[in-house]
Amino acid sequence: MIDEFQPQWTLDDRPASRRIGLIALATDHTVEADFRRLVASDDIAVHVTRVHYANPTTPENLRAMHPLLAEAAALILPGEDLDAIVYGCTSASVVIGEEEVAAAVRAGKPGTPVITPAGAAVQALRALRARRINILTPYVGRTAEPMHAFFSDRGFEVDRLACLGMEDDREMARLPHEEIVRLAVATVTPGAAALFVACTALRVAQCVPEIERRTGLPVVTSNLAAAWASLRQCGIAAEPAAPCRLLAITETP
């Protein structure tokens, strides 16, 4: 015999007080792990979906994600609000265009703030008061070239844009930490005020303290910038004892 009764309970407004959506590329190995480490906590939930993507990393393949973004965004907690959605691809956010990315994501999740790694990097570099910058990318030249124009158009002096000539984001994710540090240090030119390491596939966020120690410069990476912007969107205060300069900064750009 089953006794049916009406239990009494109360519910929280949300399982977590803040929640960030993350659209990761189908092939990506890195951005989800970085967000779990840098953003997720008892108070901030990170909800991940994937969008179809096919290598090689060319402008054409990057643009092919554009019509798929609305559906990907709509799959993140349907019918529930998010504090922001992060599109986890730096080169695509530059090639497609930030406004176009935001419009596509909001078509699937209306009214949600949209964060791109490229846009977050601009905010981060401004917060660090860095105008003259170096950029390191894993891409081939024609994929990296729009990055130069993107930052130049936003008032930065790009003193050097270094490309590794890689075409597969799965291989980009296999670069070891010591190799990333070596390449980052080699990218820096005299007089640069900051280094930006572009690409959500690179496992570089964990290397930032060492690169900053060896170069003496603040370092911004795609995932670090997007995580920083997500924390700001959630109202999380800076941590003065953070191991990298960006997460310790208290001023807003």
pLDDT above 90: percentage of residues in the chain: 89
pLDDT of residue 8: 76
Radius of gyration of the chain (CA): 19
State whether the Cα torsion 136-228-237-45 is positive or negative: negative
Instruction: Flag the least confident range among 6-10, 94-98, 165-169.
Output: 6-10
Give the per-residue pLDDT at 251: 63
Cα distance between residue 121 and residue 83, in whole Å: 19
pLDDT at residue 207 above 60?
Answer: yes
Q: What is the pLDDT of residue 156?
A: 98
When pLDDT is averaged across residues 58-76 and rounded to a whole number, the result is 97
Question: Does position 184 have pLDDT exceeding 60, yes or no?
Answer: yes
pTM of the model: 0.93
- Tokens representing 239? 């941590």
pLDDT, tens digit (0-9, with 9 covering 90-100), for 95-113: 999 999 999 999 999 999 9
User: What mean pLDDT comes out for the span 179-186?
Assistant: 97
- pLDDT confidence of residue 1: 60
* Per-residue pLDDT tens digits for 22-57: 999 999 999 999 999 999 999 999 999 999 999 999
* C-beta separation of 136 from 162 below 8 A: yes
Most confident of 7-11, 13-17, 114-118: 114-118
Q: Residue 104 in contact with residue 140, Cβ under 8 Å?
A: no
Q: What is the pLDDT of residue 240?
A: 84
Sorted by where each starts, the structural domains of the chain and their CATH numbers stand as 18-117+226-248 (3.40.50.12500), 118-221 (3.40.50.12500)
Average pLDDT, the chain: 94
pLDDT value for 18: 95
* pLDDT over 60 (residue 253): no
